[in-house]
Amino acid sequence: MKHTIAFTALAAIMAVAIPAKAETLVFSSWGGTTQDAQKAAWANSYTEKTGLQVVQDGPTDYGKLKAMVEANQVTWDVVDVEGDYAAQAGKNGLLEKLDFSVIDKSKLDPRFVTDYSVGSFYYSFVIGCNADAVAACPKTWADLFDTAKFPGKRTFYKWSAPGVIEAALLADGVAADKLYPLDLDRAFKKLDTIKSEIIWWSGGAQSQQLLASAEAPFGSLWNGRMTALAKSGVNAETSWEQNITAADSLVVPKGAPNLEAAMKFIALATSAEPQAALAKATGYAPINLESAKLMDAETAKSLPDQQTASQVNADMSYWAENRDAIGERWYAWQAK
């Protein structure tokens, strides 16, 4: 699923851009097992129903998307992006408004619907642990930041995005309903206490490898990666205490060559059955509110939408407004 934000040179975009053919639709996502699941759950079904071939591209690259739009050389029709980026890009004129006469938003989780985007799936940052590698597993964010009780390396998401800053503030005692606006001074002060013990992961596969090898036997991971680890035979223990939700979104770049087809693709991708199929394959929650009844009880209860007792919803609107400023400080802090 994610992600380096590579600012691709405009000249390179124009040199390699190949206009999408009328009989194809181009879908860009993050690659790996998640995009494989999206292809199986969405693209194959779309092709069967419409006869339109769906070309897979990626990984999603925000700099490339922006350059395409500004050069009027868009080759992507539908793109899977992070929720806060979707909110920001819509306001910045980089996206087409979605056609809700085609896409039925009445069945979708309203937390993940804007004029320019709908949820792709939603996930939680959870506390993951390789239980065979440690004497005890951390249960709370405070535990994960306690190097005396839980010595050793821990792993966190490398990129500036919802999740880690919220975890630091929760670990420092901030109430979930008082997180926003984020107190960055307090968050970075808390992060300083474990900085030397952090191994950063930049993609889901890396986070799994770090836990499985016990190089970092515990940390903050996407819940679906913990599900996959457990299925692989690792004694993977997940704590859902104050799990922090975030979402990927589906968007259409401004000037997409197959606009009508893009809307129909999103309509199918967010309908109940394809959303249920993706959830079964990935462990991430569907954004269609009718998908749960299409899944077996065992699968359904393992998804983030069933872990709401202490769930914390990351504020995508706040992140959209402050994404650039937070990112500048985040990367400067990491480089120190």
Percent of the chain with pLDDT over 90: 83
User: Tokens 């690792």 map to which residue?
Assistant: 234
| 196 and 84 within one domain | no
| 128 and 240 within one domain | yes
Q: Is residue 84 part of a domain?
A: yes
| 89 and 33 within one domain | yes
* CATH assignment at residue 290: 3.40.190.10
Per-residue confidence (pLDDT) for residue 10, from 0 to 100: 40
Q: How many CB atoms lie within 10 A of CB 333?
A: 15
* Domain housing 99: 25-122+247-306
Per-residue confidence (pLDDT) for residue 13, from 0 to 100: 39
Q: Is residue 60 part of a domain?
A: yes
pLDDT in tens, 206-263: 999 999 999 999 999 999 889 889 989 999 999 999 999 999 999 999 999 999 999 9
Q: Is residue 276 part of a domain?
A: yes
> What does pLDDT average to over the chain?
92
Total tally of structural domains belonging to the chain: 2
Helix (H) or strand (E) holding 181: none
| 184 and 50 within one domain | no
User: What three-state secondary structure class fits 296?
Assistant: coil
CA distances from 27 to 10, 33, 104, 113, 216 (A): 21, 15, 20, 19, 34
Helix axes 204-213, 223-231, angle to 10 degrees: 50
CA distances from 246 to 112, 215, 336 (A): 9, 26, 28
| 132 and 241 within one domain | yes
| 134 and 226 within one domain | yes
Q: Is residue 3 part of a domain?
A: no
Record the tokens describing residue 226, joined without a space. Answer: 């913990």
Per-residue confidence (pLDDT) for residue 1, from 0 to 100: 47
pLDDT in tens, 27-86: 999 887 889 999 999 999 999 999 999 999 998 999 999 999 999 999 999 999 999 999
Where residue 12 falls among pLDDT bands split at 50, 70, 90? very low
| 176 and 131 within one domain | yes
